[in-house]
Amino acid sequence: MRIVALVSGSGTTLQAVLDAVAEGRIDANVVAVGADKDCHGLERAQGAGADTFLVEPSAYPDRPAWNRALQQAVERHEPDLVLLAGFMRILDEEFVTAFAPALINTHPALLPSFPGAHGVRDALAHGVKITGATVHRVTAAVDSGQILGQVAVPVLADDDEATLHERIKTAERDLFVDVVAELCADADTQ
């Protein structure tokens, strides 16, 4: 399978996927990695030999124009699977429709609880004792697609947003790799 990943930051989730591909745990090739800003995730991709591209929103007159440019950049690589590996922008319905159901995202909470940009903060504010991570298919509605996998992470008495988020990200990376590996294996048998 041909994977295109989108990143916005350090790329630790992307690195987990790249490592799993290199180790043969994911039967696929990460053919390209794109970003919405210059970030360390692009350097990780280059180090793994993947093509990279940058589509910065500030270079476009509005969000629809940026979405079309990003969509075209992804389409050029003919992906079988598009991974949002720490990509921190909401994609419009046209973008989502172009790649669904092969557009996969992670979220730092046990959906459907605590959707949106502040899942960790919201879980702490609500006083839950268990939160976690979800891998799901992307739909036009934020964090509402089919759940492909979840992992629970306990909330410790001394947790703050940073410490809890770090533990969630560790569990999330393993879950993401497992789900992507399963999706690729299922595609091989069809």
3-state helix, strand, coil in the chain (%, to 5): 40, 20, 35
Question: Which residue numbers are catalytic?
Answer: 107
**Sequence-separated (6 or more) residues with CB below 8 Å from residue 76:** none
Neighbouring C-beta atoms of residue 186, cutoff 10 Å: 9
- The pair of three-digit structure tokens given for residue 116, joined into one six-digit string: 């949106």
Query: Do residues 179 and 3 lie in contact, with contact meaning Cβ atoms separated by under 8 Å?
Result: no
